[in-house]
Each structure stands twice: as C-alpha cells, then as structure tokens.
C-alpha cells in the first residue's frame, strides 16, 4: 500500500494519477486535508483518508497499513518543519517501511532562501531511523506561469536574477520520478538531485516567449531593492516579496542551475523544456 500525502495538490494528484497507471486502485491511498475534494479518486476505487499536517492524530490514522509514504512538502513556509515532523512521527508509529520526501536542491548545503526547512526535514528523517529516499526537486516550469502570462500580455517582465540559470522541469516530470521511486526497487537510502536537462536564463525565457508570440519580449533585470518595490507595488505581501527576491538572488548565484541527469534517468525520457510550457501558456501548442 502506497500513501500519497497532499494527494489533491498540484504535485500529489499527478503522483496519484501516475501510480494508478501502474497499480490497482486498492493499492493507493490518497491522504488529503479535505476528503471531499478527492471524491473523484474515491469513485475510481482509491481509498481516501483525511490527513492534516497540523493534526498528528489524523496522520497516524491515515498511514495505517502503509508500506510506503510519500511526504509531499508542505506549502506552509515557516511551518514546514513542525508539520513534517508530525508526518515522520506518524509514519514511524504506523510502521511504514519506506518514506519518500520531496526536498529542495542541495538542501543540506544550499544558501537558497527555502533550503533551511528542507535541510531540517532531511535531518529529522535521518534521525527517525526510517528507511527513506530524498527527492530534491529543482524549480517547476509552472512557477513561471504568471510571469509568462504577464509577458504575453504586456511584452515584458522584470526580475533580479541577472544571468542566473534555472534547470527547471514540469510538475509532471517530478511526479513521474516520484512514481518511479515508489513503484521501483533499489531506491532506499538514496538522495536524488532532480533537475531539468537544460538550464535557462530569464533572457532566454524572454526569447522563448517572443518565439511563441511572434513579437519582441523584453526582460528587465533590476537591482534587488528595485525588484522588491515592483513586487510590493503589484500588491504582494511583504513576506512573499522577500521570498521572491531571495529566490532570484539564489538563481543569480547559480543555486538552481545544476543539471544532474538524475531526473532523466529516473523517468526514462528527457525532461520537459521551458519552451513547451511557454507554448502551452501562449496558446501555440
């Protein structure tokens, strides 16, 4: 039995769909905060269990009988460590044989603004004694959907990443890697640095959008403080502004540029280029 947390979220639902292509529905459990949102999965024979990262009791119940648990990282930045600790404790209490966790690139050594919570989670997983596999997911192509839409609408976008490069891939690519680990053999104790095959810069992203739209798209690279002002003027909350500017700083420093080949090896095909995502958003694919 494989339990997928966050099974109605962007990544989790893709993992469930991938598992259902390989396994009978009764071997997959969708662990979700709001079971009503997973009614469609229940109709297909998937057992749906309530699992709230902030409710440890629900997690113990949700993981009962699990052979493997996929811990999809919480989206609650600043609360992740406590929530992930609850998941790890519940998986251990439930006797789960294998825990798989979606982490961040080079989480234990990276200066990326989002890395500390992932580093702490990896450490608590190691301390738990659970057999585990760590999937260090690089950036998602989908993180740029709003940027692409803005550029299509206005002809430009701004940031502060300089010439930094991003080795992104789609959520579907990363979900396929999780499915490969959950259904395959020999992944116990492994740490995979998952990234797209090609790293690209914002200038190259602008060129891809231009190719898809047939007109010139410009990227304005701003100093970090000016970038923060632009984001604040757009109405983003201060913590979000700080996070986005911090991420661009990490990109500028090359923290998301590494192309390792791990993702391609796990999914058995090339990763999805950013240009494909651009074309889908621009309506040319």
Strands 68-71 and 156-159: unpaired
Q: Sorting pLDDT into bands at 50, 70 and 90, what band is 147? A: very high
The verdict on pTM exceeding 0.85 is: yes
Q: DSSP 3-state assignment of 18? A: helix
Quote the DSSP letter at residue 220: E
Contact indicator for 58, 48 with CB cutoff of 8 Å: no
Q: Which of 190, 204, 129, 125 is nearest to 162 (CA)?
A: 204
Q: Sorting pLDDT into bands at 50, 70 and 90, what band is 78? A: confident
Q: How far apart are CA 7 and CA 35, in angstroms?
A: 10
Q: What is the mean pLDDT of the chain?
A: 96
Residue 217 has pLDDT above 80, yes or no: yes
- Whose structure tokens read 């898809």? 212
């Amino acid at each position: 039995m494989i339990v997928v947390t966050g099974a109605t979220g962007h990544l989790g639902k893709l993992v469930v769909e991938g598992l259902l292509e390989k396994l009978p529905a009764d071997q997959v459990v969708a662990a979700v905060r709001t079971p009503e949102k997973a009614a469609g999965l229940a109709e297909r024979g998937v057992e749906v269990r309530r699992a709230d990262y902030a409710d440890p009791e629900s997690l113990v119940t949700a993981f009962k009988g699990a052979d493997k648990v996929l811990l999809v990282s919480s989206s609650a930045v600043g609360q992740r460590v406590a929530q992930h600790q609850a998941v790890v404790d519940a998986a251990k209490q439930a006797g789960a044989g294998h825990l798989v966790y979606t982490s961040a690139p080079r989480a234990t050594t990276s200066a990326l603004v989002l890395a500390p919570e992932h580093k702490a989670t990896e450490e608590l997983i190691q301390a738990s004694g659970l057999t585990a596999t760590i999937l260090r997911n690089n950036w998602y192509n989908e993180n740029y959907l709003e940027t692409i839409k803005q550029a299509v609408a206005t002809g430009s976008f701004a940031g502060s990443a300089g010439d930094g490069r991003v080795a992104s891939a789609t959520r579907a690519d990363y979900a396929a890697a999780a499915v490969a680990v959950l259904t395959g053999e020999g992944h116990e104790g492994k740490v995979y640095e998952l990234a797209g095959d090609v790293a690209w810069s914002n200038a190259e992203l602008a060129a891809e959008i231009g190719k898809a739209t047939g007109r010139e798209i410009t990227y304005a690279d701003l100093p970090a403080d000016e970038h923060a002002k632009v984001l604040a003027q757009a109405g983003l909350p201060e913590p979000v502004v700080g996070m986005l500017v911090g991420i661009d700083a990490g990109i500028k420093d090359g923290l998301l540029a590494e192309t390792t080949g791990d993702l391609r090896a796990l999914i058995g095909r090339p990763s999805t280029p950013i240009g494909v995502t651009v074309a889908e958003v621009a309506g040319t694919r």
